[in-house]
Amino acid sequence: MRVLVTGGLGFIGSHTVVELYKAGHEAIIVDNLCNSKKAVLGRLEKITGVLPKFYEIDCCDYEKLKPVFANEKIDAIIHFAGLKAVGESCVKPLEYYENNLISALTVARLMREFKVKNLVFSSSATVYGLTDHAPVTEEDPVTSAINPYGETKVMIERILEDIQKAEPWMNIALLRYFNPIGGHASGLLGEDPNGIPNNLMPYITQVAIGKREKLHVFGDNYPTPDGTGIRDYIHVVDLATGHVATLKKLETNPGLVVYNLGTGKGTSVFEMIDAFEKATGVKIPYVVDAPRPGDLAVSYAKTDKAERELGWKAEKTVLDACADAYHFQKNNPNGIE
């Protein structure tokens, strides 16, 4: 398939481009570089042997995006493009709603106009909101998320459901990712946040290379065995192969489908520190701080539906992810330059 990958130079998008080529697909990347670097393209070429076609375009810009749809014979779209920092979304809700909603609407409009049959949308476990149980299944209610970022995912899911109902020829997959971590085994691709990392794994890797003094553990008094928060960390390469499996599913014309992409296993913050130390031999100093507002105690996926219907499941371990994330961080102490 010829797959339009919006946000294809970002963390998950770049790993997915690699897996698309591996599976015999072709990727056409659109990215406005608001949270990624053009240098990722050369790295993709190094890994895949192919320099993917790249358009530096904002997906909110209908007029600029239209020629891409007109000129490239697109069979499927994977829409990764979006802003994703939870804390920032509380400070800049307007920018988050504008970018995430308008880019999704523009892509959907062009999908309809050019009769592209298949769309995969990057949703998030955040759509389950402040749920009090784990694991969560795809049937759990999606009512309201905890922050503006999460709300954009809830809204876009609803919008895409309505569009698919009105256009039954469309196949749309809503993929709810849990916590993607890790990087490509080559050390060429990985997570490259701007400034102070918001997420656990990039913070740990920056402590590991001495860029930050110590990890701040956000609370050790949760109702979990060791008191720290539990999450479902999925290796980004597993997540990427989940997209390839989803495209295969969409080829069977299923209409609208929803899948959790996680491992089904929970790991606490303390367990993650241990795993990192085991995988890399590097000690991670930490202090325990107050809990972060809005954090859940426990979140992990029920993965049976994806296993059954996509024939896909996460294969890599948290130790693999720690080793790969560290490899990328060591090779790129200042991110991708």
149 is an active site residue = yes
Binding track, positions 95-134, relative to ligand NAD; x by CB under 6 A: ----x---x------------------x-x----------
Helical packing angle, 62-71 and 93-113, nearest 10°: 30
When asked if residue 12 is in the footprint of ligand NAD (CB under 6 A), the reply is: yes
Q: In this chain, which of 2, 23, 33, 87 binds ligand NAD, going by CB under 6 A?
A: 33
> Which residue's C-beta sits nearest to ligand WQD?
229
| Separation CA 82–CA 86 (nearest Å) | 12
Query: Which entry of ligand NAD, ligand WQD, none binds 269, CB below 5 to 8 A by partner kind?
Result: ligand WQD
When asked if residue 34 is in the footprint of ligand NAD (CB under 6 A), the reply is: yes
Which of 149, 177, 222, 233 is flagged as catalytic?
149
When asked if residue 43 is in the footprint of ligand NAD (CB under 6 A), the reply is: no
Residue 261's beta-bridge partner residues? 177
State the nearest-atom distance from the C-beta of 219 to ligand NAD, in Å: 20
Take residue 206 and report the two structure tokens written for it.
């920056």
Pick the closer one to ligand NAD by CB: 93 or 281.
Answer: 93
Residues near ligand WQD (CB under 6 A): 84, 86, 124, 126, 150, 179, 198-200, 203, 216-218, 229, 231, 269, 292, 295
Please list every residue from 47 through 66 that binds ligand NAD, using CB under 6 A.
58-60
**DSSP-based three-state secondary structure for 216:** strand
Name the helix (H) or strand (E) containing 56: strand 53-56
The bridge status of strand 171-177 relative to strand 256-261 is parallel
Pick the closer one to ligand WQD by CB: 84 or 316.
Answer: 84
Could you tell me which of 111, 129, 224 has the C-alpha nearest to residue 176?
A: 129
Take residue 192 and report the two structure tokens written for it.
């490259």
Residue 320's beta-bridge partner residues? none
User: First-to-last CA distance in the chain?
Assistant: 31
> Which residues are annotated as catalytic?
149
